Amino acid sequence: MPPATHRSPKGDRRSKVWSIVLAVLVGFTLFGFAPRLTSPAAAQIPSIPGINLQDIENILPPSTPAERIDTGRIRLDGRTLFWVAASASDRPGEASPIQWRTNIIEGRLRDIVQRLSRAENPPPIAIDVIESPDNGLPVLQFGDQEIMTVTEQDAELQGANTLQGTAEEFAKRIEFGLRRAIAERQPAAFQRRLAIAAIGSVLLVLISAGFAYRQRHLRAKLHRLEAQTPDVPPPVVTQPTTGTPEASAAREAAMLAAAQHQASHLQQRNLIEIQRRLLQAGQIVLWGGGLFLGLGLFPQVRWLQPQIVSGLKIPVTIILTLLGTYVAIRISAVAIDRFFWAVGNGRFFSPTNPQRIALRITTFSRVLKSIAGLVLLVIGALIGLSSLGLNVAPLLAGAGIIGLAVSFAAQSLIKDTINGFLILLEDQYAVGDVISVKSEAGLVENMNLRITQLRNSEGQLITIPNGTIDVVRNLSKDWSRADLVINVAYGVDTDQALKIIREVSLRLSRDPDWRDRILDPLQVLGVENLSHEGISIRLWIQTKPLEQWNVAREYRRRLKQALDQAGISIGVPQQSLWLWSLDRRKSMVDPDHANGSSAASSKSQDSFN
C-alpha cells in the first residue's frame, strides 16, 4: 500500500530535538529544583512525633459521621489540619452551624499567624488545652486567645475514646500548621519560592511552545492529507495490459490498493485529529496545572486552591468525560478501519473478488463505526452522570421500560434497522453499487442500518428508509451486462448485418484497452422484432461491474462506423400514406353507388367516342 505522506528527515530531526529539549527541561526541574522546594522549608519546620503529613492532608473525614451531623475541614493557608463536626441545620437557605464554626476557627488561626509574622520577637508556639468552666469541654488556646472548643461530636468523628485525646491531637496539628505557616512567610523562603515560580513559568512557556509547534506540524500534515485524499471513491488505476490473467489480476490489485490508499488517508486523518485534540487539552492542563501549582507556592494565595477544586469539579469532570468519549470514538474508528482492511488485504483469507470485497469493507466499516460511536456516546453519558454523583441504576431500569414503550411508537424505525441489517448480512448491495429501488436509481453513496442514500444521474441525493425497500435491483454486483438493440433497415441483408455485429464485438473484445472489461464474448440473440422502425437485432455483452455503460457506448461507436463502411442503413421509422378520392371513398361504403358511377362513366366514355 503506498504511503499517504512522506516526512522529511529534517522534520524528524526537529521533532527529536524538541523531544530531547523538553525531556531535559522536565528532568532538570524535577530532580534539580524539587529538593530546593521542600528541603529548606521543611528544615525550618520541626518534626512532631506522632504526626503524619498524610494525615494533615486528609481529603475525607476520618470516619463516617452519624445522621444529622455535618462535617467540615479546618484549613490554614489552604492546607487541611483536621475535621470538625456540628449538628445539621433544619433551615434551608441559611448558613449551617458547621460553616459558622469552621469560619470562626480559621479566622482565629489567621489572626494568630499575622500576629506572629509581624512580631519582632514572636513567642514560642504552644497550644494549651484547658477545661471550660461553663460545660467542662476541652478548649484550645494560644496564650490568652481562644481557638476552639472540642465537642463530643468531634471526638466521635475522629474515632477517639476521650475528649482529652482529641483535644491534644488537635493541638499538635495546630502547632504544626502554625510553625509551617510562619516558616513559609520568612523572606528567604519567599525568595526561593519566587525563584521557583519564575523557573516554572519559563518551563511552562517552553513546553507550551513545543506543544504549539507540534500542533502546527500536525495542522500542516492534515492539510496535505486533505489535498491528497479524493472526496469521491478512488478510480480504477489503469495499467498497460497484455490480456493475460496476470494483467487482469494486477488491475484488480491496483484497484484494491487505491481503495486501501484512501482508507489509509482517512485513518491517518483520524490519528492526527486525536493528537491535535490531546495537544489542545494538554495546553489547557499545562497552564491550568501550572497556575494551580503556582498558587500553592505562596501561603497568602494557597487558600484559593480548595476553592478552585470545589468550583471546577463538575466542569472538569464533564470536560474530561467529553474528551475521553471523543478520543474513544476516534480510536474505535481507526481500529475498525484497520481491522477490515487487514481482512481485505488477505491476512485472514484470499479474496476472490477484490472489487466486491472493497465495497463490502467500506460499507461494513461505516456502519460499524456509527454503531460504535453511538454505543460510546451512551457509555460516556452514563459515566458522566455517575461521576456527577447521580445513580445510573434507576436510569438503566427506566430506560428499559421507556425503550419498550418507544418500540411500539417507533415500529418504522425498528423495521428500518432490521431491514438494514439484513441488507448488509445478505450483501444485497453496498456503498459504490448502482441500484434501482422502485422508481429511483443511482449510485449508493451512503448507507447505515436506517437509511440508504442514492446519487442519481442528475446529481440529486435521494434518501430511502431501509424499511421501504422490498425489491431492489443491483446493476453492479459481481458482473454487469450491456443490453443492446440494433435497428437496421428492411432492405438490408440480415445475415450480413449479423456478421458485422459479431465482427465488431470480436474486435472490441481483443482491444488492449477494453478486453479486461469484457468478461464473456458477445451473445447475439438474433432478430428480436419487426416493426415500422426496421429489423431489431438484440445482443448481450457481459462486463465487469459498472462497465456496461462504457462498453455499450464504445460498441455503438464502432458499429456505426462498420455499418457505414458496409453500406448498411440504420432503421428509421416508416409510415405509408394513402390518398383516396371522394367517389372512391363512397364506393367503399355504398356498393350501389359504385355501380351507378361505373355505368355513368361508361356512358360518358361512349359519348366521348
- Whether residue 8 is contained in a domain is answered as no
pLDDT tens, 338-394?
A: 777 676 555 444 455 555 666 667 777 777 888 888 888 888 888 888 877 777 777
The domain tally of the chain equals 4
- Alpha-carbon distance 437 to 432, whole Å? 15
pLDDT given at position 228? 67
* Average pLDDT of the segment spanning 313-332: 84
* Average pLDDT of the segment spanning 92-105: 82
Who wins on pLDDT, 477 or 92?
477
323-to-168, 295, 316, 420, 452 alpha-carbon distances in Å? 47, 26, 10, 31, 31
pLDDT given at position 39? 37
pLDDT given at position 303? 80
Confidence of residue 105 (pLDDT cuts 50, 70, 90): very high
* Average pLDDT of the segment spanning 236-240: 36
In this structure, how many other beta carbons lie within 10 angstroms of the beta carbon of residue 469? 20
- Whether residue 247 is contained in a domain is answered as yes
Who wins on pLDDT, 555 or 393?
555
- The reply to whether 238 and 331 lie within a common domain is yes
- List the one residue out of 341, 236, 461, 439 whose CA is nearest residue 447: 461
When mean pLDDT is compared across 343-352, 510-519, 579-588, the lowest value belongs to 343-352
**R_g of the chain computed on alpha carbons:** 45
Q: What CATH code is carried by the domain that includes residue 558?
A: 3.30.70.100
- The reply to whether 364 and 261 lie within a common domain is yes
Asked if residue 10 has pLDDT above 70, the reply is no
pLDDT given at position 241? 38
- Whether residue 446 is contained in a domain is answered as no
- The reply to whether 349 and 229 lie within a common domain is yes
Asked if residue 62 has pLDDT above 70, the reply is no
Instruction: Find residue 86's DSSP bridge partners.
Output: 70
- The reply to whether 172 and 222 lie within a common domain is no
- The reply to whether 312 and 163 lie within a common domain is no
- Whether residue 418 is contained in a domain is answered as no
Q: What DSSP element (H or E) covers 149?
A: strand 145-149
> Strands across the sheet with 138-142, in order?
128-131, 138-142, 145-149
pLDDT given at position 49? 35
Task: With beta carbons less than 8 A apart as the criterion, state whether 116 and 122 touch.
Answer: yes
- List the one residue out of 326, 367, 345 whose CA is nearest residue 264: 345
Instruction: Give me the amino acid identity at 14.
Output: R
Q: What percent of the chain has pLDDT over 90?
A: 6
Domain that holds residue 596: 582-609
pLDDT given at position 173? 92
202-206, 335-339, 491-495, 538-542, range with greatest mean pLDDT: 202-206
Whole-model pTM: value is 0.51
* Residue 179 CA from chain centroid, whole number: 54
**Nine-digit cell string for 538:** 438484440
Q: What is the DSSP string of 84-140?
A: EEEEPPSSTTS--HHHHHHHHHHHHHHHHHHHHHH-SSPPP---EEEE-TTT--EEE
- Whether residue 47 is contained in a domain is answered as no
pLDDT given at position 6? 44
- The reply to whether 78 and 208 lie within a common domain is no
382-to-376, 396, 399 alpha-carbon distances in Å? 10, 9, 12
- Alpha-carbon distance 80 to 100, whole Å? 17
Domain end among 357, 390, 423: 390
- The reply to whether 59 and 180 lie within a common domain is yes
pLDDT given at position 595? 54
Task: With beta carbons less than 8 A apart as the criterion, state whether 293 and 199 touch.
Answer: no
Q: Using the Cα atoms of residue 242, residue 245, residue 247 and residue 251 in order, give the sign of their dihedral.
A: positive
- The reply to whether 328 and 363 lie within a common domain is yes
pLDDT given at position 365? 76
- Whether residue 16 is contained in a domain is answered as no
- The reply to whether 237 and 116 lie within a common domain is no
Mean pLDDT, the chain, integer: 75
- Alpha-carbon distance 258 to 75, whole Å? 65
- The reply to whether 495 and 384 lie within a common domain is no
- Whether residue 538 is contained in a domain is answered as yes
- Whether residue 38 is contained in a domain is answered as no
pLDDT given at position 602? 45
- The reply to whether 271 and 378 lie within a common domain is yes
Who wins on pLDDT, 134 or 393?
134
Task: With beta carbons less than 8 A apart as the criterion, state whether 321 and 376 touch.
Answer: no
pLDDT tens, 423-455?
A: 877 778 888 788 888 888 888 888 888 888 888
* Average pLDDT of the segment spanning 279-296: 86
pLDDT given at position 174? 92
- The reply to whether 180 and 310 lie within a common domain is no
Asked if residue 317 has pLDDT above 80, the reply is yes
Asked if residue 311 has pLDDT above 70, the reply is yes
Asked if residue 33 has pLDDT above 50, the reply is no
- Alpha-carbon distance 254 to 238, whole Å? 8
